[in-house]
Chains A and B, each alone.
Chain A
Amino acid sequence: MRLLVFTLLGFCAVASANFSDALELQEADYFSASVTKGILPPIANRIPSDPAVATFEGEGTSIGMSGGTIRILMAKAKEVRQMVVYGYARLIGYDSKLVLRADILKKFNVEKGRIFTLTLREGHRWSNGDRFTTEDFRYWWEDMANNKELFPAGPPVQMLVDGALPTVEIISETEIRFAWEHPNPEFIPALAKASPLYIYAPSAYLKKFHPKYQEADKLAQMVAAENRQNWASLHNRKDNSYKNDNPDLPTLQPWVIQTAPPAERYIFSRNPFYHRVDTNGFQLPYIDEVHMDIVAGKLIPAKAGSGEVDLQGRYLNFNDTPFLKQNEEKYGFVTHLWRTGKGSQLTLYPNLNIEDREWRDLFRDVKFRRALSLATNREEINEVVYFGLGLPQNNSLLPGSPIYDQKSAYAYAEFDIENANALLDEIGLKLGPGGIRLLPDGRKAEIIIETAGESTEETDVLQLIHDSWLRAGIKVYTKPLQREVLRNRVFSGQTQMAIWSGLQNGLASPEMSPAELAPTSQQQLQWPMWGQYLETKGAAGQAVDLSAAELQLERYFAWRVAASFEAKKKIWSDMVRTYNDQVFTIGLISGALQPIVANARLRNLPAEGYYNWDPGAHFGSYRPDTFWLSLSKTDG
C-alpha cells in the first residue's frame, strides 16, 4: 500500500512532503474505475495539498467507511438547494459547538474588525477539476458584483459598510484581502450562513457567458438558443450556486447534482475534488450518492415511517413522533428528537405601530405587555400541545447559546393572574360588563390575534390563550389570514397582534448580529414601521419614539463597531435582558422538538442536537459529509 501511495504521489507535483508522511491517501471504490481508465486523476492530484482533515472527537462519532447511497425526500423541486445547506461546505462555517472555523479556506485573519485576509488551500479544485483560486473571487467581485447588468443594485448589502465598498486586494493565487474603512461585523457570519453570501464563483465556467470574455456573436447565439432576453439573464440562469439547479455548474460542495430539473428524482454524487479527508486518508464524503425524491409533503411522514428514507427532518412534525417510534423496529430506522433552534416556537407580536391611538398607547405601555405575558399559562400550553417537552420560557435565547441567561429567558414567563390583573388595574382599565375590561374611550378590551393559519398548532394554542387571558379581562379573537395579507396588514398598522415564530436565532453567539433584538427591519412584526425607517434610511416608516426601543437600537450600533469578543458579549447580554424585561414580544413556548428519522445503519448523526436553519443549516453544522452507513444496525 505504501508503495502505491508513493507511486500516486509521483504524479502529484503539488503534494507537500510532510503531508504525504502524515496521511496515506486512499482511493474510494466509487472512483477507482474512473481513475484506472484515466477519466479522473488519482486522489493525490484531486485534493488540495493541505486538505481539511476531519476529526472525530465528538461523543459517539467514529471514522467511517466509504460507500452507499442515502435517500432523502423533499416536497418541491426547488428544494434541491437543501443539498447546499446539508453539504455545508463554506469558506468559514460553524462547527457543532457553533464556533466559526475555516473550512474551504485554509485560514482567515481579521484585523480591527475591518481587514479580512482569506487564505485558500493550495491545489483546491472545483467539482469539474478547474482550479479554485483567488481569480474566482476577483471574477465575482469585478465582473459580477460590480457589473451593472448582473447586479443592478450593486454588490450585496453585506459587502457595504455605511454605503462604502471594500478595497479588494489580490495578494497571490491563494490569498485575498477585503478591507473596509470601518468594521464589518456581518461579513464572516454571512459567509457561514445556511444560505451563504457567495463572494466567489466558478470563473472558468462562467466566463463563457460573460461578454468581457466571450465573443459577442457566440454569446448572442447562446442567449438565443436558451431563449433568454440578454446575456445577464443567461449568466444568472447558469450561476446558481445556492439554487443548485444547474448540473454543469462546478461546485465545492460534497455532493454534486447530476439531474437537470424538472425531475421526480434528483441524484447527487460525491464530489471527486472535495477538500476534506479523514485521518485514515479517505476522502470525504463517505456517502457515494444522495437520492432526493420529490413527493407530496404530506406523504413524507408516512414514507419516513415505513423506512423509505435514510435521513429526514424536513416535513416531519412533532405530531408524527408516536407513529414514527412505533414503526422503528419493523422498518429498521431510528427517530431522534432534536430541539428546534428558534427563540420561540410561537410568539405573539403586539403591534407597537398600530394606527389605532388607544391601542398604540396600551401596547407601548410596558405594564400592559407584562400583564399579558403574566396572564399566559405557558405550562398549560406545554402540557396540552407539546406533551410537556417544550421549554415554557419567553421569546429569548435557548440553553444552547453561550449568552443564554435563564433569569431573563423566564422573565414574566410565570403564570400569575393576580399580578396581571393588578397591573391592568394600575393602568386604569376598569372591568366592564361580562368581565371584559374597558379601554379609556369605553370600547371593550378585545384583541384580534391574526394568524397565517398554516397549522392547527397555532389555533390550538390561541384557544388556550383565549381562556387564560379572559381571566384577566381581555377577550381574544382569532382571525386566520393568508400569509401575505397578514404581513401587509401588520406593516400598515392595521393588525393588533400577530402570531408567528419567535427569534430566528435562539442559539446566538456574540459574533452573530443582534439585529433581531432592535427595530432594524420591517419584518419584525412588533415594530414594522420603526424597522422600515431604518431600512429605508428614513424614507419610509416612522422614527423610533420609545426609549427602550431606542436604547436597543443604540446598543445594536455599538455592537457593530465593537472590536472585542467580550464587548460584543456584553452588548448581547444587555440587549437580551432589556428585550425580555420589556416583553416586546410574548413568547409562548420554546425548544419544541423536531423528529429526525435516520436509517439505523447511519453513523455519526448525533442522537441529540439542534435543528436550526441559521446557525446550524439543519444537519449542516454536524457535517453530513462524515455520516456513513455501517453494515449492521448496532454500533461497531
Chain B
Amino acid sequence: MVMIPTLLAISVLVFVIIQLPPGDFLTTQIAELQAQGQDTNSAKIEFLREQYGLNKPLWEQYAIWLLGMLQGDFGYSFEYDLPVSEVVGDRLFLSFVLSFATIIFTWAMAFPIGVYSAVNQYSPGDHALTFIGFLGLATPNFLLALVMMYLAKAHFGISIGGLMDPEYIDQPFSYGKFISVLEHLWVPVIVIGTSGTAGMIRRLRANLLDELQKQYVTTARAKGLTPTRALIKYPLRMALNPFIADIGNLLPQVVSGAAVVSMVLSLPTTGPMLIEALQSQDMYLAGSFLMFLAMLTVVGVLISDIALAALDPRIRLGAGNDK
C-alpha cells in the first residue's frame, strides 16, 4: 500500500523535472525554425500554445496529465503530433525482445562461470575468467558497441545499426525478417550483456563462496555426497537470491533498455525515444515514459519480494518474526 503514494510522489517529481529547463516544447521548435531562417510570428505561437494547452497554469497541466493517465490516456506527443500510445507502438515489443535476449545471455554466461569461479577459487581458470569479467565491466558500452558494429559490418556484412536489415523495417513478420533480427540482435545483446554478466559473475561467486565455507557443506561432503550434488543441492540454491532480487531492476531495464547503447546502435527501442523526448521537451511523451518506468520498478520490487519470500524460507519466516 506504500506503492500508491510512492507513485504519486514520483509523478509530481517527473512533471516538475521535465518543466525545469527554460522554455517549453514550442520555444524549442521556434528556435529551430528561426535557425533555419523561417518566419514565426508571435500571434501564431500564442495560438499553438493555446492549442497544446501550454498556456494553462502548471498545476492544471499536471492534473490533466494525471487524470488522463489513470484512464489509460497518456497524453499527446507534440513532436509526432500523435497520441503517445500510438507513438510508442511496436518499439515496446522490440525492447522486450532485446531485453529478454540480453537477460538470457547474461544468465547463461554468468551462471556457469560464477559457479566455476567459486568452486575453483584462485585457480588459473578463475583468474582468467575474472579478468575477462572485469574487462567487460570496465569497457564503456558505447565503445564496445562501435567496435562490434564495425566488425559485424566488415566481416559478416551485417548492416550497421538497427535490429534488422532496412528492407524488413515495417514489413509483416516473416522467416527472413526473423533471421535478419537474429543476425542483428547478437551485437546489442553482447554489448548490453557484458557488464551485467560481469557483475552477476562476481555476485554469484561471492555468495557461493560464503555458502561453501559453511558447516553444512562440510557435513554433506563428510556424509559422502558427490561434489556436484553437494554443490547443487544446497549452497547453489542459497546463492540464487541475488538473481531473484534482480528482477526488481530488470523490469524497468526491459523498457528503458540501455538507452545509450540503443542510441549508438540506433535500435528501434524505447530508450532513444525517451531521450529525444526529453531533449525536445515533448513533455507528455517523456513524462509517460518516466512514469511507466517508475511503475515497473515498483511492481518489479514487489514481484521480487514475493518471489524471494516464496523461495527462501529464511526470508518468509524472518518477516513473520517481526509481527
Residues of A within 8 A of B (CB): 71, 76-78, 151-154, 156-158, 194-195, 227, 229, 233, 237, 245, 259, 261-265, 291, 293, 295-296, 298-299, 302-303, 306, 308, 482-485, 487-488, 504-505, 523, 613-614
Residues of chain B from 22 to 65 with CB closer than 8 A to chain A in the complex: 22-23, 27-28, 31, 34, 36-39, 41-44, 46-47, 51
CB pair A153 B41 closer than 8 Å:
yes
CB of A504 within 8 A of CB of B51, answer: no
Q: In the bound complex, do residue B169 and residue A264 qualify as a contact, i.e. CB atoms below 8 Å apart?
A: yes
Q: Of A151, A296, A487, A613, which one neighbours B31 at CB under 8 angstroms? A: A487
The CA of A265 and the CA of B44, in the complex, are separated in Å by 32
Among A151, A298, A485, max chain B CB count under 10 A is at A298
A291 CB → nearest B CB, Å: 7
Q: Are A485 and B89 within 8 A (Cβ)?
A: no
Of A156, A299, A488, A523, the contact of B264 (CB 8 Å cutoff): A299
A483 to B150, CA, bound (A): 33
Across the interface, do B161 and A299 meet the contact criterion of CB distance under 8 Å?
Answer: yes
Whether the pair A295, B161 counts as a contact (CB closer than 8 A) is: yes
Give Cα distance in the complex from A157 to B23, angstroms: 25
Q: Name the distance in Å between A487's Cβ and chain B's nearest Cβ.
A: 7
Complex-state Cα separation, A61 to B160, whole angstroms: 32
Could you tell me if B36 and A613 are in contact, using CB atoms closer than 8 angstroms?
A: yes
Question: A229 and B51 in contact (CB under 8 A), knowing A157-B39, A264-B169, A299-B264?
Answer: yes
The answer to whether A488 touches B22 (Cβ under 8 A) is yes
Residue contact A262 to B149, C-beta cutoff 8 Å: no
A-B contacts at CB below 8 angstroms, number: 98
Complex-state Cα separation, A45 to B89, whole angstroms? 41
Task: Look across to chain B and name the residue whose beta carbon is closest to the beta carbon of A501.
Answer: B35
Q: Is the CB of A484 within 8 A of B28?
A: yes
CB pair A262 B86 closer than 8 Å: yes
Task: List, in ascending order, chain A residues with CB within 8 A of B135's CB.
Answer: none
**List of 10 A-B pairs having minimum Cβ-Cβ separation, nearest first:** A153-B43, A265-B169, A296-B266, A295-B266, A152-B47, A264-B169, A299-B161, A504-B37, A299-B266, A303-B160
A303 to B23, CA, bound (A): 35
Whole-angstrom distance between the Cβ of A555 and the nearest chain B Cβ: 20
Q: Is the CB of B166 within 8 A of A261?
A: no
Do the beta carbons of B272 and A262 come within 8 Å of each other?
A: no
B window 204-263: CB within 8 A of A: 263
27 A-B pairs within 8 Å (CB atoms) are namely A77-B80, A152-B46, A153-B41, A153-B47, A195-B36, A195-B38, A229-B51, A245-B81, A261-B82, A263-B170, A264-B169, A264-B170, A265-B169, A295-B161, A295-B266, A299-B161, A302-B149, A303-B159, A303-B160, A306-B160, A308-B159, A308-B166, A484-B22, A484-B28, A487-B31, A488-B22, A614-B37
Q: Which of these, B23, B42, B149, B263, contacts A484 with CB under 8 Å?
A: B23
A296, A298, A505: residue with the most chain B Cβ atoms closer than 10 Å: A296
Given contacts A261-B82, A483-B31, 10 further A-B contacts (CB under 8 A): A152-B44, A153-B42, A154-B43, A157-B39, A157-B41, A262-B89, A293-B162, A296-B263, A484-B22, A613-B36
